[in-house]
Chains A and B, each alone.
Chain A
Amino acid sequence: MNLPRIPIGEAVDSGVDWITTNLAAFLDAISDLLSFLVNGLTDLLLIPPEFVAIVLLTLLAVAMRSVTFGVFTLIATLLVASMEMWEMAMETLSLVLVATVIALVIAIPLGILAARKNAVSTVVRPVLDFMQTMPAFVYLVPVVAFFGIGVAPGVCATIVFAMAPGVRLTELAIRQVDKETVEAGEAFGGTPGQILRGIQLPLGLPTIMAGVNQVIMLALSMAVIAGMVGAGGLGSEVVNGVSRQDIALAFEAGLAVVVLAIFLDRITGAIGQPTGKSVPALIRRKRAESARRQADAEQAAAPQSAPSTTAA
């Protein structure tokens, strides 16, 4: 039996054609903007000499997470530098950061909206499923048609591919905030905005950060694939390694991606759920401890002048 063929592919194709011919100016503007952002950020990241940048990243790791992670960062970034992948790594980093920021700017408000309105959630969910499961390579075709070869199609494909978990986890984060606590906000006369800012976002932060983390990881994997359309960075090196059968190059570029991935993952993870082992946290705890000890000493010195405040 022959089913009549439904020309979905052709429809999408002619849709893409229509956009490229009719919205050329708009696409050019976007392309210019994205290239400007990514190249600008790359230049910025490359201003400090490698070793200065490595020290800065290590300090960031120590401040955000722990001394152990700082040691890892130091060794891993030195490794990247010694493989002569530093410039490419920074290109990829800026592509990932730009794509992530744009994806989150769209995803978080959309997630909040979906959490509030079931109708939005119902519409958004299948779209996200589609975006996330469509094979990543497929995105490369239309974006190349839109933007040609370069950074812009890479960023665009990355945004589309990476956005879904941002929306999903933001929606989940808002929905799973303890109902009673939200009620408390309402019961004391909070406006929806006050409740969102004061209760839902802070309490949902760990989950939202898990979403951010996912977005970054997906962006990183897509950024490598985007190397195929000339997005530059480590992706291009991987593609070169594959096409030239250069195992050494491919592996080294791949290793740099891994270092980047681990660094970004641990840093964003620490924002969502502080480890308590970061250096500022350690200092704070030391201080609190000594303050407590001092208070105890004072209390012991004058026991009768300090009646228990907890007495019922």
Chain B
Amino acid sequence: MPAIEASGLTKVFGRRPQRGVRMLREGADREQLQREGLTAAVIDATFEVKPGEISVVMGLSGSGKSTLIRMVNGLLEPTAGSLTIDGQEVTNLSDAGLRDVRRNKVSMVFQHFALLPHRTVGENAAYALELRGVSRAEREQRAQEALGMVGLGGWGDSLPSQLSGGMRQRVGLARALAAGTDIMLMDEAFSALDPLIRKEMQDQLLELQSELGKTILFITHDLNEAMRLGDHVAMMRDGRIVQSGTAEQILNEPATDYVAQFVADVDRTKVLTARTVMERPVAVVGPDSGPRAAHKLMREHQVSSLLVVSRDRTVHGLVWEDDVADAVRQGSEALPIKSDDVIRVAPDTALAELFHHAAASRAPLAVVNQAGRLEGIIPRVTLLSALSPHQSNGNHGDAGADSGDDTRFAPAGAL
């Protein structure tokens, strides 16, 4: 069951908005409504957010994204359509029912922090609990914990005015975390911060998210931010969702010219990660195989180096063509493994960083997960072609000797 599910969600502002919905159904566009004195802020938005995922809605100002997020927790009542949270329909709830949802299911972080200036940081963080009637001792403790999570332990007695912008938004974040809801709505939460702090906050959000597994609906006008944070990104324009998918899908397969134009300016090296461009290795060799087997593989695939990988995909190192040839000539039985020559990168390393690594070695980069297992490799040529927006995707790219034959990945094949 999706955490948030919207279907046909529409919001029209103005007198008797229902007639706007009727007009839209009959095919009228935004301009026609405007002439009737109606503003269609969100039109027929259908989306779902899965539990534990960061879903980003991205659009410029006036695209309706703020209206959209405010319909999710009922700050604005949808004119038409349905919206469920954890399977519960919320569009027809009474005021009390809606308050219940807001207290227990959905919290929110605001663009300009929306802290209470006359209360201390600790009291601000505990605000949601206070509204809910939680006892003072408990809410102070939970606020303390939440402040600790966002790195503001010990600031509880300060006033918001004594904090920098980034720290204030951490308080905003702590307030939402202390509320203890599974779903968090973030309305341009980092847009008011300067770029360095913004990046820091994004990192922190990703970290918290992986720790706590919150479901996050994040609104932004910053495409780079959307791509960085979003497991799933929806692009909005003029009140409609024009495309939704993963960051890579939007980047590589823009659905409309508008999206294409939009993503044209994206710094692909920052959005794409090692995982998105890596490919299956053409061939690898097991640590126990002899130089002859390695030599044969290299000739077959016309590569100058081979990764040495055991059955459990642990990377041991690599062998170079010259060394293998020497070993064969000398009749040696052991592979001349150079374990230090392999450059290992994590799957979520940004492309921009990979260049730096790639420059250091002729061999492809080894993408290795936290457990030290090989996930894929990135030959230099793949790295370059990933930068081209016309390339559909690195995985299927015209990347050197890679013929994309999956069966050859398993080291067993080379043993």
Chain A: residues with CB nearer than 8 A to chain B? 178, 180-181, 183-191, 194, 198-199, 202-203, 309-312
CB-defined contacts of B132 to chain A, threshold 8 Å: 189
A183 contacts B110, C-beta separation under 8 Å: yes
**Is B371 part of the binding interface, using a Cβ–Cβ cutoff of 8 Å?**
no
B167 touches A187 (CB 8 A): no
Please measure, in the bound complex, the distance between the C-alpha atom of A164 and the C-alpha atom of B384, giving whole angstroms. Answer: 72
Q: Say how far A284's CB is from chain B's closest CB, in angstroms.
A: 13
Cross-chain pairs A/B with CB under 8 angstroms, 22 sampled: A180-B111, A180-B112, A183-B114, A184-B108, A184-B115, A185-B131, A186-B75, A186-B102, A187-B185, A188-B102, A188-B128, A189-B103, A189-B104, A189-B128, A190-B99, A199-B116, A202-B118, A309-B151, A309-B155, A312-B200, A312-B203, A312-B204
For B154, what are the chain A residues with a Cβ–Cβ distance below 8 Å?
309
CB of B83 within 8 Å of the partner chain: no
Does the CB pair B103–A188 fall under 8 Å?
Answer: yes
Whether, in the assembled complex, B107 has its beta carbon less than 8 Å from a beta carbon of chain A, the answer is: yes
Task: Indicate with 1 or 0, residue by residue over B105-149, a CB within 8 angstroms of chain A CB atoms.
Answer: 011101110111110000000011011100000000000000000
B117: which A residues are within 8 A, CB to CB? 203
B382 at the interface (CB under 8 A from A): no
Q: A187-B185, A202-B116 are in contact. List 17 more A-B contacts (CB 8 A).
A: A183-B70, A184-B115, A187-B73, A187-B102, A188-B103, A188-B175, A188-B179, A189-B101, A189-B104, A190-B99, A190-B131, A198-B116, A203-B116, A310-B167, A311-B151, A312-B151, A312-B203
Which 4 A-B residue pairings sit nearest by Cβ, starting from the closest? A189-B103, A189-B102, A184-B114, A188-B128
Chain A residues within an 8 Å CB radius of B101: 189
Residues of B in contact, count (CB < 8 Å)? 37
Q: How far is the CB of B147 from chain A (nearest CB, A)?
A: 9
Q: Which residue of A lies closest to B124 (CB)?
A: A184
Contacts of B107 in A (CB 8 A): 187-188
A309–B102 CB distance below 8 A: no
B331 at the interface (CB under 8 A from A): no
Is there an interface contact between B75 and A183, defined as CB atoms closer than 8 Å?
A: yes
B100 interface residue, CB < 8 Å from A? yes
> Does B153 lie at the interface of the complex (its beta carbon under 8 Å from any beta carbon of A)?
yes
Asked whether A187 lies within 8 Å of B118 as measured between CB atoms, the reply is no
Binary contact track B144-184/A, C-beta < 8 Å → 1, others 0: 00000001111100000000000100000001000100000
Report the Cα distance A269→B118, complex, angstroms.
18
Complex Cα–Cα for A202 and B151 (A): 28
Chain B nearest CB: distance from A48 CB in Å?
35
Which residues from A are CB-within-8-Å of B103?
A: 188-189
Interchain nearest-CB distance for B51 vs A (Å): 20
| B20 nearest CB across to chain A (Å) | 22
In the docked arrangement, what's the CA distance between A198 and B179, Å? 17
A288 CB → nearest B CB, Å: 10
Bound-state Cα–Cα, A310 to B70, Å? 32
A137 vs chain B, min Cβ distance (A): 42
- Hey, what's the 0/1 contact readout for B74-115 against A, CB within 8 Å counting as 1? 010000000000000000000000011111101110111011
Closest to A199 in B: B116
**Is the CB–CB distance between B112 and A188 below 8 Å?**
no
Chain B residues closer than 8 Å to A187, beta-carbon distance = 73, 75, 102, 106-108, 110, 185
